[in-house]
Amino acid sequence: MIRLVNISKQFDGTEAVKNINLHISKNEFLTMLGPSGCGKTTTLRMIGGFEYPTTGEIIFDGVNINALPPYKRKVNTVFQKYALFPHLNVYDNIAFGLHIKKVEKKTIDEKVGRMLELVSLSGYERRSVYSLSGGQQQRIAIARALINEPEVLLLDEPLGALDLKLRKDMQLELKAMQKQLGITFIYVTHDQEEALTMSDTVVVMNRGRIQQTGTPEAIYNEPINAFVAGFIGESNIVEGIMHGDFHVEFAGKHVECSDQGFAAQEVVDVVIRPEDLKMVEPADGLFTGVVKSVTFKGVHYEMIVAAHGIDWMIHSTRMRPAGMNVGLKVVPFDIHIMKKVMEE
Amino acid sequence: MKKTWAAWPYVFWMVIFTVIPLFLLLYFSFTVKDGSTVAFSFANFQRLFEPVYFKVLFRSLVLAGISTFFCLFLGYPVAFILAGRSFRRKNTMILLLVLPMWMNFLLRTYAWLTLLERKGLINTVLVHLGLQPLNLLYNDFAVTLGMVYNFIPFMILPIYSVMSKIDRSLVEAAEDLGANPLAVFWRVTFPLSLPGVLSGITMVFMPAVTTFVISRLLGGGQYTLIGNLIEQQFLTVGDWNFGSAISVLMMLIILVSMAFTSRYEKEQEGSGLW
């Protein structure tokens, strides 16, 4: 439905987005995920029409829309800080798009009513937007965008300003809405959990480039490089050397692993998820080390174990007290070998 | 810890230069002098309703109104362009706008005399072009021109200040919802700039109603506005009591108009220049 072909964007000489290629299909919930300044918002704004790409093409249903101004595009946006019109009440905010299109008053009434129902704010028509809480303003912003029946809805960190509980509720609501309405959602966030929870497809970005595109499961279980692994969930990332297929050396140990196809002696990143490191008796461990600190995290404990000059992060439901000697073990399948990310 | 003593110089200043003169004004306006005796009276205010003075007041309000309208009409687009994000030489332009205000008010107004005179620059050019010289001075046109010229920065600056604070994302949101640039302006930018317009109108209308320099210089000696009337009473006629009464009336008019605008501004929850 939307294709980005070799898109780049420069702002006064600095490149915010570098050669992005992306395909977004109909009814997809696609999330662009990355740290601030990674180019995800710029990419979204180019789809919305607020920025024009320096090079490359934006194709919408087969047509190049590079130079089309925002008001001619069949997409609507939910802005980061909602951008509700302060001089209009809730009704007029939601009806804004329909007023522009000169829709009949009766139809507008009907549609605004239905939208307010959708975002469970019926009866708020005459309220000033100032009198609403952050979560309510958020819903109005969503209603204002959805009433135009866009084919694509762009959401720019829409839940960023909400507290944790509300954010979780809204995540589920948004996902439900997207399924119910059958609209393509393009969602921008820096919150990896949000991305994993809601998306059909996650696009991980860093420094203006797409690092990896895939389902949430694929991104989490098979991160393509150390950046993705570090950004999605928590990871222990150490440097290692491949001595051949299924044979890696890291932290001074030669270990069997499940990866192959690297050059001999290639320097790689070794990624191990904190929950994949098991604590055993010192004698049984691959490494031995000392527990440095213990933090209670609710479902599990987070422990830092110093071994072979590296601080390993371990998530476990069994607590070992600080100062205790432990052994660390990991099965070959859980050792992820990644090519070094090229720094530029 | 409250350092109330720190406010004393200001209190002192206010009393000497604001409170006492105000009371003097009220005192004079409600009294008449008969030889050496002073008596309380409403006579000064009754005189205000004589047709002559009423006409002067009416004319002052109309001229100030026209000037304010032109300031708005010319100033709004300037403020709009200045606040636009594509406009690069913003600071230079604002400096150019403010620069004439650093010059003496009288001098600036005198300068127009030499331009508008019968044998002034404009008419000389017209004659050279083989056209009839125009009567440019000592009429409504000259006075209005003088007011617009002198007061237009007070219209542009508050509108500019409010407009440049309008959140860019609101404009984007409107575009996103299908509004073309014209619709964005009428439905978003203009309504949100109204507090600035209101400040501007107040800041232009008030000095325009009370000015006496502009009407004196550009309107000629015969041209009487309410400001001239007050000046005359104090400096020429020497009737301080009547002069005070006119001043009190002026203050009332200004107070009422300010009450209206400040109430409106509160409703808008916007921020003016003050």
User: What's the average model confidence in pLDDT over B233-256?
Assistant: 88
Q: How far apart are CA B219 and CA B212, in angstroms?
A: 10
Give the minimum alpha-carbon distance from B149 to chain A in angstroms, rounded to a whole number. 32
Question: At which of A226, A260, A287 does a domain end?
Answer: A226
Residue A222 inside a domain? The answer is: yes
Strand pairing category for A184-189 and A29-33: parallel
Task: Give contacts of B173 with chain A, Cβ < 8 Å.
Answer: 77, 79, 83-85, 144
Residue-level pLDDT at A341:
67
A254: in domain:
yes
Same domain as A217, residue A329: no
DSSP three-state, residue A269: strand
| Residues 6 or more apart in contact with residue A261 via CB below 8 angstroms | A245
Are A219 and A328 within one domain? Answer: no
**CATH 3.40.50.1820 describes domain B47-268:** no
Q: Does A87 touch chain B (CB under 8 A)?
A: yes
Mean pLDDT over B88-113 rounds to 84
Q: Tell me the per-residue pLDDT of B104-117, one tens digit each, with 9 for 90 and over.
A: 888 888 888 888 88
- Give the H/E segment covering residue A70: none
pLDDT of residue B179: 93
pLDDT in tens, chain A (344 residues): 899 999 999 988 888 999 999 999 999 999 999 998 899 999 999 999 999 999 999 999 999 999 899 999 999 999 988 899 999 999 999 999 999 999 999 999 999 999 999 888 999 999 999 899 888 999 999 999 999 989 999 999 998 878 888 888 889 988 988 998 889 999 999 988 899 999 999 999 999 999 999 999 999 888 888 889 888 888 888 889 998 888 899 888 888 888 888 888 888 989 899 999 999 988 888 888 999 999 998 889 999 999 888 899 999 998 899 989 999 999 888 888 888 866 54
**Domain-ending residue, one of A226, A256, A282:** A226
B172, B180, B183 ranked by CB distance to A83: nearest: B172
Q: Are residues A116 and A238 in the same domain?
A: no
B130 in contact with A, Cβ within 8 Å = no
| Chain-chain contact of A77 with B176 (C-beta, under 8 angstroms) | yes
Q: How many residues are present in chain A?
A: 344
Residue B182 pLDDT class (50, 70, 90 cuts): very high
Please check whether residue A294 is in contact with residue A321, taking contact to mean a CB–CB distance below 8 angstroms. Answer: yes
* Residue A71, min C-alpha distance to chain B (Å): 4
Q: What is the dihedral of CA B228, B231, B234, B238, to 10 degrees?
A: -40
Q: What is the pLDDT of residue A156?
A: 93
- Is the Cβ of B266 closer than 8 Å to some Cβ of chain A? no
- At A320, give phi and psi (nearest 5°): -115, 130
A189 vs B123, more confident = A189
Q: Measure in Å the smallest separation between the Cα of A139 and chain B Cα atoms.
A: 15
A11 touches chain B (CB under 8 A): no
Residue A179 to chain B, least CA–CA distance (Å):
22
> What is the predicted pLDDT for the residue at A167?
87
The amino acid occupying position B24 is L
In chain A the beta strands, taken as DSSP E runs, fall at 2-11, 14-24, 29-33, 55-60, 63-64, 75-78, 152-156, 184-189, 201-206, 209-214, 236-244, 247-250, 253-256, 267-272, 278-280, 287-296, 301-307, 310-316, 325-329, 336-339
Interface contact A87-B178, CB threshold 8 A: no
Q: Of the candidates A79, A87, A130, which has its C-beta nearest B173's C-beta?
A: A79
Residues of B in contact with A99 (CB under 8 A): 187
Return the amino acid letter for B132: Q
Query: What is the H or E stretch that residue B38 is in?
Result: strand B37-40
- Residue B182 makes CB contacts below 8 A (sequence gap 6+) with none
**Closest to B175 (Cβ–Cβ): which among A69, A144, A145?**
A69
Please tell me whether residues A57 and A41 are part of one structural domain: yes
With an 8 Å Cβ cutoff, is A42 touching chain B? Answer: no
- What is the percent of chain B where pLDDT is above 70? 93
Residues of chain B in contact with residue A144, where contact means CB-CB under 8 angstroms, are 173, 177
CB contact under 8 A, B169 and A144: no
Domain assignment present for A338:
no
A69 in contact with chain B, both atoms CB, cutoff 8 A? yes
Same domain, A176 and A49: yes
- Whether residue A63 lies inside any domain: the answer is yes
Residue A286's domain comprises 234-333
Q: Same domain, yes or no, for A102 and A204?
A: yes
- The mean pLDDT of B56-73, rounded to a whole number, is 92
State mean pLDDT over B83-98. 81
Closest Cβ opposite residue B169 in set A81, A100, A144:
A81
Q: Is A119 part of any domain?
A: yes
Q: Are strands A278-280 and A325-329 parallel, antiparallel or unpaired?
A: antiparallel
Kindly indicate the confidence band of residue B273, based on its pLDDT and cuts at 50, 70 and 90: very low
> Quick check: A81 contacting B, CB < 8 Å?
yes
More confident residue, A108 or B33: A108
Selecting from A84, A100, A130 the residue whose C-beta is nearest the C-beta of B183 gives: A100
pLDDT at residue B197 is higher than 90: yes
B147, B208 Cβ separation under 8 angstroms: yes
The SS3 assignment for B106 reads helix
User: Per the CB < 8 Å rule, is A96 touching B187?
Assistant: yes
Using a CB–CB cutoff of 8 Å, tell me whether A77 touches chain B.
yes
Domain end, chosen from A204, A226, A248, is at A226
Contacts of B170 in chain A (CB under 8 A): 83, 85-86
Same domain, A301 and A173: no
**Alpha carbon distance A28, B153 (integer Å):** 54
At A154, which CATH number? 3.40.50.300
- Cβ partners under 8 Å of residue A101, min gap 6: B178
Whether A245 is in a domain gets the answer: yes
Residue A309: inside a domain: yes
Greatest Cα pair distance, chain A, in angstroms, is 79
CB pairs A-B closer than 8 Å: 67
Q: Is it the case that residue B141 has pLDDT exceeding 70?
A: yes
pLDDT band of residue B254 (cuts 50, 70, 90) is: confident
B192 contacts A99? CB cut-off 8 A: no
Q: Are A130 and A86 in contact (CB under 8 A)?
A: yes
**In terms of domains, do A136 and A267 share one?**
no
Q: Over 50: is that where the pLDDT of B130 sits?
A: yes
Q: Are strands A267-272 and A209-214 parallel, antiparallel or unpaired?
A: unpaired
Does residue B274 carry a pLDDT above 50? no
- Among the partner residues A50, A83, A101, nearest to B178 by beta-carbon distance: A101
Mean pLDDT for chain B? 86
The nearest alpha carbon in chain A to B193 belongs to A87
Q: Are residues A178 and A216 in the same domain?
A: yes
Contact B176 A48 (CB under 8 A): yes
Q: Which of these, A118, A161, A165, lies nearest to A138 by C-alpha position?
A: A161
* Contact (CB<8Å) B178/A69: no
Q: Does B192 touch chain A (CB under 8 A)?
A: yes
Q: Specify the number of domains making up chain A.
A: 2
* B178/A148 Cβ within 8 A: yes
Six-digit token string for A283: 């004698």
**What pLDDT is attached to residue B271?**
42
Q: Contact B170/A99, CB-based, under 8 Å?
A: no
Q: Which regions of A215-277 does DSSP assign to beta strands (E)? A: 236-244, 247-250, 253-256, 267-272
pLDDT at A12: 85
On whether both A176 and A294 belong to a single domain, the answer is no
- The minimal CB distance from B172 to the residues A50, A96, A145 is found for A50
- The crossing angle, in degrees rounded to 10, of helices B240-268 and B20-29 is 120
In chain B, which residues have their Cβ closer than 8 Å to the Cβ of A75?
A: 176
The per-residue pLDDT for B253 is 84
In a domain, A343, yes or no: no
Q: What residues of chain A, 95 to 124, have a C-beta less than 8 Å from chain B? A: 96-97, 99-101
Q: Looking up tokens 């150390």, which residue turns up?
A: A226
Residues A30 and A79 in one domain: yes
Contact list, A76 vs chain B (CB under 8 Å): 176-177
Q: Are B210 and B250 in contact (CB under 8 A)?
A: yes
Chain B nearest CA to A104, separation (Å): 16
Residues of chain A positioned with their CB less than 8 A from the CB of B187: 96, 99-100
| Residue to test with chain B: of A77, A94, A131, most B Cβ within 10 A | A77
